[in-house]
Amino acid sequence: MTQASAAAGRTVLVTGAAGGLGRSFALGFAERGYAVAVADVDESGAAETAALIADAGGRAWHGRLDVTSVGSTEEVAAAVAEFGGGRIDVLVNNAALYAGITRAPIEELDPAEWDRVMAVNAKGPWLMTRAASPHLGAGSSVVNIASATVMSGSAQWAHYVSSKGAVIALTRVMAKELGVREITVNAIAPGFTLTEASYGHMADADSYGVDRGALHRASTPEDIVGAALFLAGPDAAFISGQTLVVDGGRQFI
């Protein structure tokens, strides 16, 4: 059985898929034969991602999603389940605040920004999974996007690192709770990856940290997509509650 035929009839919801890593996830799943639901607070960007999938012959749905809103997550989950013929097979919780957030010592971080980062990055995956749960069935998968910064403890980024640490903890709890329904829940912890947001954070993004890795090159979004496809697929059916670090061997856990 080919990978595309194994994915036939399966539907994936990717949050935060208007661009960057989320768009790469959406396109990667579409290439494997999944019907893809593209959701983002940036509805026009989500529409662009869906159009790229449709132009390549895939099946796509798009809509606006605010992962901090109970109403928005429930509305999107119901619409995607309808799009998927009554269920959601894969949920990729990718939506997160990264671009534009402040890097500062803990004494100088704005508490309001801390709350905003936590609301999107930590509360968001919980609310989206909570809303999707009634539409997940045996064989469904949840893939949460954390960050390898949790393992390294990136200085002057306490809110972002803490929020992604919460994602790893949440993954373990959800794996226990949803596992009784034969639903797997895992996390991916990407290292520094070349996206539009990363270039916005630093001028030397192409060379940042490459000398610290076992593989001496920068990570691209496509390097992360394969991990999500694996965790969502049948070869990972007995893997749950785990965090897969994808950073070119910059750190080992």
Read off the DSSP letter of residue 123: I
Whether 34 is catalytic: no
Alpha-carbon distances, residue 205 vs 44, 99, 139, 217 (angstroms): 27, 14, 38, 11
pLDDT of residue 217: 75
- Name the CATH superfamily housing domain 3-194+222-245: NAD(P)-binding Rossmann-like Domain (3.40.50.720)
- Domain extent listing, the chain: 3-194+222-245
pLDDT of residue 206: 56
Note whether 149 and 161 are within 8 A (CB): yes
Would you call 43 exposed, middle or buried from its count of C-beta atoms within 10 A (0-12, 13-18, 19+)?
middle
pLDDT of residue 201: 53
The Cα–Cα gap between 50 and 60 comes to 5
Q: Which residues of the chain have pLDDT under 70?
A: 1-6, 193-211, 213, 216
* pLDDT tens column, 200-221: 555 555 555 666 767 767 778 8
pLDDT of residue 211: 67
221: nearest Cα among 249, 244, 190: 190
* pLDDT tens column, 167-177: 999 999 999 99
pTM metric for this prediction: 0.92
Note whether 189 and 247 are within 8 A (CB): yes
Catalytic residue among 34, 160, 199, 208: 160
pLDDT of residue 252: 78
